[in-house]
A and B are shown apart, each in its own frame.
Chain A
Amino acid sequence: MSKKLLLKNDHIPNINQLAVYRQHGGYTVLENTLKNSNPENVLEEVKKSGLRGRGGAGFPTGMKWSFLARPEGIPRYLVCNADESEPGTFKDRYLMERIPHLLIEGMILSSFALGAKTSYIYIRGEYFYVSRILEAAIAEAYAAGLLGKNIMGSGFDHDCYVQVGAGAYICGEETALLESLEGKRGNPRIKPPFPAVAGLYGCPTVVNNVETIAAVVPILELGGDEYAKIGIGKSTGTKLISASGHINKPGVYEIELGVPVEEFIYSEQYCGGIRGGRKLKAVVAGGSSVPILPTELILKTANGEPRLMSYESLGDGGFATGTMLGSGGFIVMDEDTSIVKNLYTFARFYHHESCGQCSPCREGTGWMEKIIHKILDGHGTMQDIDLLWDIQSKIEGKTICPLGEAAAWPVAAAIRHFRSEFESYVQNPENIKDIKHYYRLQN
């Protein structure tokens, strides 16, 4: 089930250059669309495609676009979310670095559909070198008349700019991103109003992930109906998966949604199995925020069905026995991994990244980090495990933005599925000794 739409040309040398991108059919979708179509049709095709946001939440893109307010005389904006800071996720970087023009073509097409004369690509500051690649590609596009006034004689004007952040996971949350783009601290806004009504500079704004925007190009090339035939059920199309951890072949893979998880982990086409022939212990399937699942639940659902790489199948069973596709950050852990220590790296991350506006998140993330540290230090008690559970349960649903939940879910899942490991650390601190130095470098 290998199907490449986004990365079909990623192996071509110099595909980051406009001339090479065009030799391989680049910008023909834009040309055809501007000549023969109109914004309503583009929106219609995207709706038909069933495309769901690739940033993590999986919200239908066509529906999001149709919510955009269109008052007369007020500019509308498209903002591309290239903040990519969810641990385990590196697909947007790969796409932008290799095929920057695919994103830019998608930006122009999406802006055409939305009636946005200006768009911004907000990229995390650490990806500075990638921002340079994007800037170079944008300059090429301007020089070729693909950006700027009257693009390809269509009468459509569009400017696209790259904006760098400066190190803040929270700026991936769309309203924090907009604050940051306005030159402020990345504090998420209280919603409503939603960005579709009052976003950047108070104007109607659509925020979409890099991969979502890039997918608009193959959608318009194939037609929405054809795109929707790829994948499985409501998980249409292809998805970029960032695979990392204890696998033989880490990297970015484009999969047709619906590939069995087992095939993804073990086949040579994808991850190539577990390093050193070890056994699988657990997987975080969709970036650090989604619940971790032990082997038996990641390979099969609670009903014994094979688990598939799709929004529905990964979500099957809710959080009791399932997880989420999320951003597609697929982190694999072998049989000797300390789940508690892995959780500690997440807890430290969320504490570091909380913007501090809401007390359940600001305080809760700090307490969770401290308690897990205490357990790993050999001073944990059984009550600490219950306290940890209690704290995480009191964050969910009580904060301005979903970072609170993102911090709580991994803690809940680790306790739910690996409670005995926490208990063994409490009861027998000897078990903790080897954790730090277990993961020797490969060579």
Chain B
Amino acid sequence: MTTSEQIVFSKESLELVQKMMLRYPEGKHKSALIPVLHIAQAEFGGWLSAPVMDYVASILKIQPIEVYEVASFYSMFNLKPVGKCLIEVCRTSSCWLCGAEDIIDHIENKLNIKVGETTADGMFTLKAVECLGSCGTAPMMQVGADYHENLTLSKVDALLEKFKSEDKQSRYC
């Protein structure tokens, strides 16, 4: 995204946004902000740049600051560029009890990055996250909208290969 001219939702996304705004009472369409930010993040490269947030503000007819303050509050919104494939490994109690740290170590070694970093080729970002409601199938990780559960090191290897070969942007929606 270099110039703001390029930041325009696709026709389908725009229709979806318009439809979404009808879910709320008149004048309360700001309620659509979080769902719309998800769509924006998915459509504009996996993160929310200031011009993207300004664009969302203009679509919802609210002030840019109202978008910034929300985008910066929620952990699923990335305010900096991330790798194409965002790997989020849960490290909270139940996952830790079942070996989450081994999973994290393994991915760090495999990709040669630490938690929070992105590979030099921009393919992978590794993030450690808090409980994703998958504690009974621990350890687990989320990539885009997909949950990968009951992880083993070989499962992780196979998944990393798959992500690499698919070479596509992970997205929640």
Query: In the complex, A89 Cα to B136 Cα: how many Å?
Result: 9
Asked if B135 and A242 make an inter-chain contact with CB atoms under 8 angstroms apart, the answer reads: yes
Tell whether B98 is near chain A: CB-to-CB under 8 Å: yes
Q: Which of A126, A169, A185, A441 contacts B76 (CB 8 A)?
A: A126
In the complex formed, the residue of A with least CB distance to B74 is A166
Asked if B34 and A245 make an inter-chain contact with CB atoms under 8 angstroms apart, the answer reads: no
Asked if B93 and A288 make an inter-chain contact with CB atoms under 8 angstroms apart, the answer reads: yes
List the A side residues contacting B131 at CB < 8 Å: 85-89, 288, 349
From A9-17, A296-304, A337-345, A417-425, the one touching the partner chain is A337-345
Query: In the complex, A201 Cα to B27 Cα: how many Å?
Result: 10
Tell whether A191 is near chain B: CB-to-CB under 8 Å: no
> Considering residues B103, B133, B172, which has the most beta carbons from chain A within 10 angstroms of its beta carbon?
B133
In the complex formed, the residue of B with least CB distance to A245 is B97
Asked if A183 and B30 make an inter-chain contact with CB atoms under 8 angstroms apart, the answer reads: yes
Asked if B75 and A166 make an inter-chain contact with CB atoms under 8 angstroms apart, the answer reads: yes
In the complex formed, the residue of B with least CB distance to A163 is B35
With A169-B130, A250-B137, A441-B99 as given contacts, are A125 and B74 in contact (CB-CB < 8 Å)?
A: yes
From B107-115, B139-147, B158-166, the one touching the partner chain is B139-147
Asked if A252 and B77 make an inter-chain contact with CB atoms under 8 angstroms apart, the answer reads: no
List the A side residues contacting B101 at CB < 8 Å: 436-437, 439
Query: In the complex, A293 Cα to B30 Cα: how many Å?
Result: 44
Encode B146-157 as 1/0 by CB contact (under 8 A) with A: 110001110000
Query: In the complex, A184 Cα to B30 Cα: how many Å?
Result: 8
List the B side residues contacting A181 at CB < 8 Å: 31
Tell whether B94 is near chain A: CB-to-CB under 8 Å: yes
Tell whether B84 is near chain A: CB-to-CB under 8 Å: no
Asked if B97 and A128 make an inter-chain contact with CB atoms under 8 angstroms apart, the answer reads: no
List the B side residues contacting A87 at CB < 8 Å: 92-94, 130-131, 135
With A124-B133, A441-B99 as given contacts, are A167 and B76 in contact (CB-CB < 8 Å)?
A: yes
Query: In the complex, A244 Cα to B97 Cα: how many Å?
Result: 9
Query: In the complex, A185 Cα to B77 Cα: how many Å?
Result: 13
In the complex formed, the residue of A with least CB distance to B100 is A439
Query: In the complex, A284 Cα to B96 Cα: how many Å?
Result: 14
Query: In the complex, A355 Cα to B73 Cα: how many Å?
Result: 8
Query: In the complex, A348 Cα to B115 Cα: how many Å?
Result: 15
In the complex formed, the residue of A with least CB distance to B102 is A441
Asked if B38 and A166 make an inter-chain contact with CB atoms under 8 angstroms apart, the answer reads: yes
CB distance from A284 to the nearest CB of B (A): 7
Interface size on A, residues (CB 8 A): 63
Tell whether B18 is near chain A: CB-to-CB under 8 Å: no
Asked if B136 and A244 make an inter-chain contact with CB atoms under 8 angstroms apart, the answer reads: yes
Q: Which of A90, A124, A440 contacts B135 (CB 8 A)?
A: A90
Query: In the complex, A391 Cα to B20 Cα: how many Å?
Result: 45
Tell whether A211 is near chain B: CB-to-CB under 8 Å: no
What number of residue pairs across chains A and B have CB atoms under 8 A from each other? Answer: 170
Q: Which of B35, B77, B134, B142 contacts A164 (CB 8 A)?
A: B35
Query: In the complex, A426 Cα to B101 Cα: how many Å?
Result: 23
Asked if A183 and B31 make an inter-chain contact with CB atoms under 8 angstroms apart, the answer reads: yes
List the B side residues contacting A288 at CB < 8 Å: 92-93, 131
Query: In the complex, A70 Cα to B62 Cα: how many Å?
Result: 31
Encode A176-216 as 1/0 by CB contact (under 8 A) with B: 00001111111000000000000001000000000000000
Tell whether A54 is near chain B: CB-to-CB under 8 Å: no
In the complex formed, the residue of A with least CB distance to B25 is A201
Asked if A186 and B25 make an inter-chain contact with CB atoms under 8 angstroms apart, the answer reads: no
Encode B27-46 as 1/0 by CB contact (under 8 A) with A: 01011111101100000000
Asked if B99 and A440 make an inter-chain contact with CB atoms under 8 angstroms apart, the answer reads: yes
Tell whether B14 is near chain A: CB-to-CB under 8 Å: no
Q: Which of A86, A183, A337, A352 contacts B34 (CB 8 A)?
A: A183
Tell whether B120 is near chain A: CB-to-CB under 8 Å: no
Q: Which of B32, B74, B136, B145 contacts A128 (CB 8 A)?
A: B145
Q: What are 17 A-B pairs with beta-carbon distances under 8 A?
A: A85-B131, A89-B135, A125-B172, A126-B76, A163-B23, A167-B75, A183-B66, A185-B70, A185-B73, A242-B136, A244-B97, A245-B97, A331-B94, A342-B96, A437-B102, A439-B101, A441-B99
10 tightest CB-CB pairs across the interface, nearest first? Answer: A166-B74, A167-B75, A167-B76, A183-B33, A183-B30, A244-B135, A87-B131, A441-B99, A250-B136, A244-B94
Given A128-B172, A169-B130, A244-B135, 14 new contacts (CB under 8 A): A85-B133, A87-B130, A88-B131, A128-B173, A129-B145, A168-B74, A181-B31, A183-B30, A201-B25, A242-B135, A246-B97, A252-B136, A439-B99, A441-B153
